[in-house]
Amino acid sequence: MHKPRSLTSLSLFFPCYNEKENVGTMIEQAIEVGETYGVDYEVIVVDDGSRDGSAEIVKKWSEKNARVRLVAHERNMGYGAALRTGLAAAEKDLVFLTDGDNQFRLADIEKLFSKIDGCDVVTGYRIQRRDDARRVIQGRLWTSLNRTLFGLKVRDVDCAFKLFRKKALKDLRLESNQLLIHAEILARLQRKGFRIEEIGVTHYARTAGKPSATGLSRILKTFFELFRLWGRIRSEK
């Protein structure tokens, strides 16, 4: 087990939208990470207006374990909005984010820990993405476009397995409410001069629930937002 010097306290958070079949397992894994490393930790679940009882499951966990905290949106505001809420709510020195769909194993956070002492952000890349072919191809094209526009030297922009030093998130202005959020986070942190490193992590097929925020209209809107973000970042000092 690798415990970095910078691991003095840890926030683990993930968004949740209609993930009642996955949210309990995700919380269990997050608690296990915190207990295994023996640090001050918190588990934050951002429920983005779920209608399937996901929030109630989180509430039951928070009653059993005071380190588990529910942050709820009254209505569905979008994936990006949920990540923004989670980043703002996190209070510990290191902040870890993932998705609530159980397609990663949180024990793999050790891989991120192995690099964090030498940088400000560690982002995973999916060694072999376990999604359908359409999503895999879209992801590769999306990453390529973001590498070109923002000069990001990462292999998998949207990989939801990231670790930040809290100081890097201070005063980080984020605007995206949808799928652009990962690209925006990395582009803005790079613009501020923070050091970003990358490491491969294992990705698993979804076994329960359904992916959200993947409709054609949202994808087209995300492309529009991408070029708008590119223009804004270029104009900023």
DSSP 23-83: HHHHHHHHHHHHHHHTSEEEEEEEEES-SSSHHHHHHHHHHH-TTEEEEEESS---HHHHH
> What per-residue confidence (pLDDT) applies to 217?
65
Q: What is the CATH number of the domain that holds 231?
A: 3.90.550.10
> Phi/psi at 58 (nearest 5 deg)?
-65, -40
> What per-residue confidence (pLDDT) applies to 134?
82
2 within a domain of the structure (yes/no): no
Total domain count, the chain = 1
Q: Are 122 and 162 in contact (CB under 8 A)?
A: yes
| Site of tokens 């989670």 | 86
Q: 128 lies in which domain range? A: 9-235
- Collapsed DSSP state (helix, strand, coil) of residue 166: helix
3 within a domain of the structure (yes/no): no
131 within a domain of the structure (yes/no): yes
4 within a domain of the structure (yes/no): no
159 within a domain of the structure (yes/no): yes
174 within a domain of the structure (yes/no): yes
Mean pLDDT by 10 residues, the chain (237 residues): 93 97 97 97 98 97 98 95 97 97 96 98 92 82 87 93 97 90 95 96 86 63 80 75
